[in-house]
Amino acid sequence: MLRVHAFCALEPGPRLLVLGGVHGDETCGSMAIERLRAELDGGMHALRRGQLTLVPVANPLARRKGTREGERNLNRNFRPSPAGQPAADYETRITDLLCPLIDRHEVLLDLHSFESDGEAFAMIGPRDNRGALEPFARAREEGRLARQLGTPRVVEGWLDIYAEGLAQRAAAGETLPDDAIDFGRGTNEYMRSRGGYGVTLECGQHRDPDAPEVGYRAILAVLRLLAMIDAPPDEPPAPHPQVLRLAGVVLRHDAQDRFVRDWATFDPVRCGDLIGIRAGGEEVRAACDGHIVFPNDRALAGAEWFYYARASERVLD
Ligand SMILES: [Zn+2]
C-alpha cells in the first residue's frame, strides 16, 4: 500500500509533488514530509494556491526491510511498464503507481540521504538542450528551485556521466542491453520527460540528526518560492551555492580495490592525488583538480566506485 497525501488550494497554481523514502534506509525525507503534513493538518501553514502532494514513503517494502532496495533500486529504469506486460517485481509495481502521479504534477522534490560522510547537496538535470539523451527546456526554473534548497553545493551532469560509466563497462567487455541507459533514469528524469522539472535533495548522511531538518526547510523553501505558502516579507534571497559538474566515474574492478583513506563526498583532490589502489597494486589517481563524489567502498566489482566533479561555470538564478 502506498500512502499519498493531497492538499489542494482553491486558487489554481503550481502542482508540487514531494517524495521521501524512494530508498528504504533513507528516513530523513519521510520525517520531513510527516512533519509538514502534521503542520498543514494543524493549520500552521495555509496552502494559498496550487496543489501539494506528499508521499512520505515511496518504497514501503524497502522501508519495512530497512534497506535501500526492496527487490531492486526504485530510482532506476523509472518509467511505466509496457501495456499488458505483468510487472516483474515490487518496484515496477510501485513505479506504475508513481508515474501517473508524477504525470499530474509539474514540479518534483525528491528527498534522499547518502552513505558516506559529507554535507547536503542538490542534484539538478541538464541545461536546456534538444539532444537525444535528455532534452530539456526548464533548466532555469529547476536551477532557481535548487538554489532555494539551502545546500552549499548543487551538482549537475548525472545522466551524461551515467552514460560514460556504461561506455566504460562495455569497453571492459561487459555485454549491456540496448536500453541500458534507461537504467540511469530515475524519478526526476521521468518528470523532465513529462514536461516538468525536478530536483533531488541529498539531505546528508543517512543517520545525520540534522538531515530531517534540511529536508523540512527545503520543502518550505520550495513552497515559498512557488508562492504556495506565505513567505516572510523581508526574507533575504538564498546565497548562491557552488555548482559542480560531474566529470567522470571510476569503476571498481575487483572487490580488493581499496581507497587510501575514508573519502567523504566533496573532499577536494588535486590532479594526480592518490585516491585508491587496485587489487593488483595499480594506483588510481585524480585525473583533474576537483572533488570526490559518492565514494562507495562497498561497490561490487564492475560497479561505480566513485565519481569526480569539477567546478561548473553555471550560475543559478
Ligand atoms: Zn537515495
User: DSSP letters of 96-127?
Assistant: HHHHHHHHT-SEEEEEEEESSS---EEE--PP
Expressed in angstroms and rounded, the spacing between residue 129 Cα and the centre of ligand 1 is 26
Expressed in angstroms and rounded, the spacing between residue 15 Cα and the centre of ligand 1 is 23
Q: What is the pLDDT of residues 95-121, one digit of tens each?
A: 999 999 999 999 999 999 988 888 999
Expressed in angstroms and rounded, the spacing between residue 113 Cα and the centre of ligand 1 is 5
Q: Does some domain include residue 303?
A: yes
Expressed in angstroms and rounded, the spacing between residue 233 Cα and the centre of ligand 1 is 34
Same structural domain, 211 and 257? no
Expressed in angstroms and rounded, the spacing between residue 314 Cα and the centre of ligand 1 is 25
Helix then strand then coil, % of the chain, to nearest 5: 25, 25, 50
| Residue 233 pLDDT > 80 | no
For residue 178 the three cell numbers come to: 540496448
Same structural domain, 94 and 19? yes
Same structural domain, 138 and 72? yes
Expressed in angstroms and rounded, the spacing between residue 251 Cα and the centre of ligand 1 is 20
Q: Are 110 and 187 in contact (CB under 8 A)?
A: yes
Same structural domain, 249 and 217? no
Instruction: Among 107-111, 204-208, 293-297, 300-304, name the one with the lowest average pLDDT.
Output: 300-304
Cα–Cα distance between 197 and 137 in angstroms, integer?
Answer: 9
Q: What is the pLDDT of residues 183-228, one digit of tens each?
A: 899 999 999 999 999 999 999 999 999 999 999 999 999 999 999 9
Q: Does some domain include residue 300?
A: yes
Total domain count for the chain? Answer: 2
Expressed in angstroms and rounded, the spacing between residue 236 Cα and the centre of ligand 1 is 30
Q: Does some domain include residue 198?
A: yes
Same structural domain, 264 and 175? no
Q: What is the pLDDT of residues 155-174, one digit of tens each?
A: 999 999 999 889 988 998 88
Expressed in angstroms and rounded, the spacing between residue 71 Cα and the centre of ligand 1 is 15
Q: Does some domain include residue 35?
A: yes
Same structural domain, 284 and 140? no
Expressed in angstroms and rounded, the spacing between residue 259 Cα and the centre of ligand 1 is 22
Q: Does some domain include residue 230?
A: no
Q: What is the CB neighbour count within 10 angstroms for residue 200?
A: 24
| Residue 15 pLDDT > 80 | yes
Q: Does some domain include residue 56?
A: yes
Residue 255: CATH number of its domain: 2.40.50.100
What value does the mean pLDDT take over residues 253-259? 95
Q: Are 49 and 139 in contact (CB under 8 A)?
A: no
Same structural domain, 81 and 195? yes
Q: What is the CB neighbour count within 10 angstroms for residue 11?
A: 11
Same structural domain, 54 and 168? yes
Cα–Cα distance between 177 and 169 in angstroms, integer?
Answer: 12
Expressed in angstroms and rounded, the spacing between residue 74 Cα and the centre of ligand 1 is 9
Cα–Cα distance between 162 and 185 in angstroms, integer?
Answer: 9
Residue type, 46: A
Same structural domain, 279 and 198? no
Cα–Cα distance between 259 and 251 in angstroms, integer?
Answer: 12
| Residue 138 pLDDT > 90 | yes
Pairing of strands 5-8, 49-55: antiparallel
Q: Does some domain include residue 100?
A: yes
Q: Does some domain include residue 270?
A: yes
Same structural domain, 287 and 212? no
Output the pTM of the full model: 0.93
Expressed in angstroms and rounded, the spacing between residue 114 Cα and the centre of ligand 1 is 6
| Residue 179 pLDDT > 80 | yes
Residue 30: CATH number of its domain: 3.40.630.10
Rg (CA), the chain: 20
Q: pLDDT category, 298, cuts 50, 70, 90? A: confident
Domain boundary pick from 225, 253, 271: 225
Same structural domain, 127 and 180? yes
Expressed in angstroms and rounded, the spacing between residue 12 Cα and the centre of ligand 1 is 32
Range of the domain at 16: 5-225
Same structural domain, 86 and 214? yes
Domain boundary pick from 159, 192, 225: 225
